[in-house]
A = this chain, B = another copy of it.
Amino acid sequence: MCQLMGMNCNAPTDVTFSFRGFARRGGATSDHADGWGIAFFEGDGSGDDRGVRHFVDHQPACQSPVAELISRYPIKSRNVIAHIRKATQGRVALENCHPFVRELWGRYWVFAHNGNLADFSPRLHANFRPVGHTDSERAFCWIMQELAKSHADVPSVQELSITLRELAAQVAPHGTFNFLLSNGQALWAHASSKAGSPILYYVERKHPFAHATLSDEDVSVNFADQTQPTDRIAVVVTAPLTTNETWTAFAPGELKVFEDGMLVEA
């Protein structure tokens, strides 16, 4: 099983806070020790974030020099997806580390999955094929293939959400299917529909951000010093990162959409 973290913000936001707790999970405080990854979109300030930075490592996050860089690197992003992997399918190798990235309609798409899919071998007849050997990348390729068939170009967030909801429902019966997806415009999060499976939680933060205590470390960060009064952030995780905020659980099988730092109806 794996840990997921997604962030969606209305302004480029420093994510060092949340990732520090998350990175600590990679081997130090839990058994999620088979690699990790983070991808985040970066734009030029015009609001259309097309560039992606993608860092993956098959070393545990707590031993990885790249994770060490990330914990010090001033990430400024509106859409972030991070993942700590515990191998269930596919050996411990770089090509099996989430998040995965593909291009469609001239945009990059970033995907990470938590869970295990059994007997999931969809027909991949089109233009997205897995490089590694995970059920997760197979599911991502199938979703991209079906999106490409359903729309001629990048659809609206609302239209895309409808299609994704239909597609996720077809994969979910195969097992635990918590996933995060972003194209730089929004963050889509799907919670597993299986009873007893881990689920997703989210929190919306608004200025002024309260002191937040990481559950994995005795560190406290005050966001208020760093943000503007208009700043909003939504954070989605498989296990709440902080102990002094109220995290809302997804309903089983639910797909939620976050845009401009808020949960939106879509």
Nearest-Cβ distance from residue A206 to partner chain B, whole angstroms:
28
* The residue from B69, B108, B131 contacting A131, defined by CB atoms under 8 A apart: B108
Q: Does A53 contact B (CB under 8 A)?
A: yes
A50-B69 Cα distance, complex, nearest whole Å: 24
Q: Is the CB of B56 within 8 A of A56?
A: no
Contact A106 B131 (CB under 8 A): yes
Residues of the B chain whose Cβ atoms lie less than 8 Å from the Cβ of A194: none
Query: Which listed residue (B52, B103, B130) contacts A129, Cβ 8 A?
Result: B103
- Asked if residues A106 and B130 are in contact (CB atoms below 8 Å), the reply is yes
Q: Which chain A residues in 64-90 approach chain B with CB under 8 Å?
A: 65-66, 69, 72-73
User: Please, how many angstroms separate the alpha-carbon atoms of A95 and B95 in the complex?
Assistant: 22
Measured between C-beta atoms, what is the minimum distance from A126 to chain B in Å? 8
A101 to B39, CA, bound (A): 14
A131 and B102: CB pair below 8 A? no
A147 to chain B, nearest CB (A): 12
Chain B neighbourhood of A106, CB < 8 A: 129-131
Task: Say yes or no: A51-B95 contact (C-beta < 8 A), given A73-B65, A148-B127.
Answer: yes
The residues in A between 151 and 189 inclusive whose CB is less than 8 angstroms from any CB of B are: none
Contacts A/B (CB < 8 Å), 8 sampled = A50-B131, A51-B56, A52-B95, A66-B73, A103-B129, A105-B129, A108-B131, A127-B148
Q: Tell me the A residues contacting B by CB distance below 8 Å.
A: 42-44, 50-54, 56, 58, 65-66, 69, 72-73, 91, 93-95, 97, 101-103, 105-108, 126-132, 148
